[in-house]
Amino acid sequence: MAKAQKAYVCGDCGASTTKWQGQCPSCAAWNSLEPRVIEASRPAAGVPEATVQLLSAVGGETVPRIRTGLSELDRALGGGLVQGSAVLIGGDPGIGKSTLLLQAAARLETGRTTLYASGEESLQQVSLRGHRLGLPLEKVSAIATTRVEDVLAAVEQTRPGCVIVDSIQTMVTDMLPSAPGSPNQLRSCASLLVRLAKQTGITVVLVGHVTKDGQIAGPRLLEHMVDVVLYFESEVASRFRILRAVKNRFGAANELGIFVMTEGGIREVKNPSALFVSQRADPVPGSVVTAVHQGSRPLLVEVQALADQGGGSPPRRVAIGLEQNRLTLLLAVMHRHAGISTHASDVFVNVVGGVRIAEPAADLAALLATISSVRDRSLPRDLVVFGEVGLAGEVRPVAYGEERLREAAKVGFHRALVPRANQPRQPIAGIETIAVDCLQDVMRVLPALQASAG
C-alpha cells in the first residue's frame, strides 16, 4: 500500500502546505492550518496511474453480496454487504449497534474470518456478549485497540473477509496529534479504512455514534466518504429499532430494516406492518392508516392529527415523520377546496412508531386525519387511505398502488380510499376500493364513512 503523508490544511480556504505556519500563505487567515493526512505519494510525472476502459468491457452486471444472517439487515443494505464496500452504521449510544454487528459478524458468509476491532469494549466484554447470545464465534477474530494502525496490521495478518470498527470515534492514527473523535482524526481514520476496502476488496463496516449536540464530529462528517450509510433509530423507550438507509451506492436509499431488541439479542420483525398501526378496538378521531412504500416494500403506518382550537397567533404547525412544509400546504388545500379552516387552530401531525414518510402518498391520510380531528368524527378502523394531494385539490395516483392494497388486505383492512387511477383492474380479495378524483369527491364519501365508524 502506498504511504500516506501529512500536510497542513487551512480550515478557511482549504489550501495545503507541507509545513505548519501561523498564517495561511493562501488566504492569510491566522491559526487556521490544521494537520491532515493526505493522499499517498503520487507516481512520477507522466506515468499513468489509471487505465481507460470501455464501460461495456468492465464487468459489473451483478455485485457480489455477502449475506449477514439477518434478513432485515440485508434488506437495509439492498440485499447484503457488497464486497469491498465501506458501510457506516450510525446511531445513538446504547441503541444496539454493537449487538447487531456482533450478531452479523458471527454469521457473515464471506468464507473467511471477520475481524471485530473494538475501541470501546475489552475483548472479554465482546466475547461475553457473544457467548451470552449463543453466537458461533469460531470465525470472528477480535482486537481491542484504538489505533487504526493496529487494525491495519491485524488485517494484514489475518486477511479477513470483513472488518468491523466499533467505533470510528474511538480510533486515532499515529500521524495526527489530535484527540480521538476530533473531526480531523475521524476523517483521517475513516479515509485510511475506506482506502483499505477499495484496495483489498475487504468489506469495512464503521460504527459511528450520533452525538445529540454538536453533530460536528458525528457520522455526518463521514457520509460522503463511504458507499452505504445506515442509521439505527428507535422511538424513546421502545424495544423496536428501525435501520434506515440514507445513502446506498448499490441499492435504494429509503430502505428500512425493522428489528426488536430482546433479552437474547436483536431479532428481525417479520411482519412490520402490524407494528406501526396501533392496536385499538375502537376508532378514535384524528387517526388514519396509510400505506407507504419504503424501499422495496409496502408498509402500513398510522398518521395521527390533532387540531387544537384556540391556537396562538400565528397558529403552530408541527409535523413529526412528515415534512413540515407539506403539512402547511395540505392545510391550505384543505381550506381552499374543502372549506375547512384551521387558521385559528394549532395542528399537530405525527406518524406512529417513528417512521418518517418521504413520499407524497401520505398526503390524503394526513389531510383526512386533520379533518377527522377538526370535526371530532372518527373514520372506520378497517379503512386505509393513500394518494397525493395537489394544489388544485386533485387526488393524484401514486406508484405501487396494487402492492399497497395487497399489504393492507393482508393486515386485515377491508376498505381503501384511493386515487381513481390506482383502482386495481382486477378486484383484490378482501378489500373494497373507493376511488376519488379530487377533494370534493372525498368530502362526498366522508359522511358515509364516518357514519360506519360509529
Q: Which residues bind Mg ion (CB under 5 A)?
A: 98
Q: Among 240, 210, 212, which residue's Cα sits nearest to residue 353?
A: 240
Q: What is the C-alpha to C-alpha distance for residues 35 and 175, in angstroms, rounded to an integer?
A: 9
Q: Among 203, 205, 157, 152, which residue's Cα sits nearest to residue 37?
A: 152
290 binds, options ligand TYD, Mg ion, none, Cβ within 5 to 8 A by partner type? none
Which residue in 25, 43, 64, 93 binds ligand TYD (CB under 6 A)?
Answer: 93
Q: What is the C-alpha to C-alpha distance for residues 428 and 293, in angstroms, rounded to an integer?
A: 18
291 touches 329 (CB < 8 A): no
Compute the least distance from the CB of residue 204 to ligand TYD, in Å: 17
Which residue in 22, 59, 60, 94 binds ligand TYD (CB under 6 A)?
Answer: 94
94 binds, options ligand TYD, Mg ion, none, Cβ within 5 to 8 A by partner type? ligand TYD
Compute the least distance from the CB of residue 191 to Mg ion, in Å: 22
263 binds ligand TYD (CB under 6 A): yes
Q: Is 83 helix (H, G, I), strand (E, B) or coil?
A: coil
| Nearby residues of 45 by Cβ (< 8 Å), 6 or more positions away | none
Which residue in 261, 284, 409, 411 binds ligand TYD (CB under 6 A)?
Answer: 261
61 binds ligand TYD (CB under 6 A): no
CB of 100 or CB of 330, closer to ligand TYD: 100
Residue 326 C-alpha cell reads as 407539506
340 touches 362 (CB < 8 A): no
CB atoms under 10 Å from CB of 45, counted, come to 5
CB of 168 or CB of 439, closer to Mg ion: 168
Residue nearest to Mg ion (CB): 98
Looking only at the bridges linking them, the beta strands covering 203-209 and 81-82 are unpaired
261 binds, options ligand TYD, Mg ion, none, Cβ within 5 to 8 A by partner type? ligand TYD
98 binds ligand TYD (CB under 6 A): yes
Looking only at the bridges linking them, the beta strands covering 114-118 and 86-91 are unpaired
How many residues bind ligand TYD, per CB under 6 A?
14
Q: What is the C-alpha to C-alpha distance for residues 227 and 268, in angstroms, rounded to an integer?
A: 24
Of the candidate spans 173-181, 262-270, 323-331, 373-381, the one that interacts with ligand TYD by CB under 6 A turns out to be: 262-270
Which residues sit opposite 345 in a β-bridge? 309
99 binds, options ligand TYD, Mg ion, none, Cβ within 5 to 8 A by partner type? ligand TYD
Say which residue the cell 377538526 belongs to.
Answer: 374
Compute the least distance from the CB of residue 231 to ligand TYD, in Å: 11
How far, in Å, are 261, 304, 441, 449 from residue 372 at the CA level? 35, 10, 16, 11
What residues numbered 105-164 form the site for ligand TYD, per CB under 6 A? 129, 133
CB of 121 or CB of 268, closer to Mg ion: 121
211 binds ligand TYD (CB under 6 A): no
265 binds ligand TYD (CB under 6 A): yes
Which stretches of the chain bind ligand TYD, using CB under 6 A? 91, 93-99, 129, 133, 261, 263-265
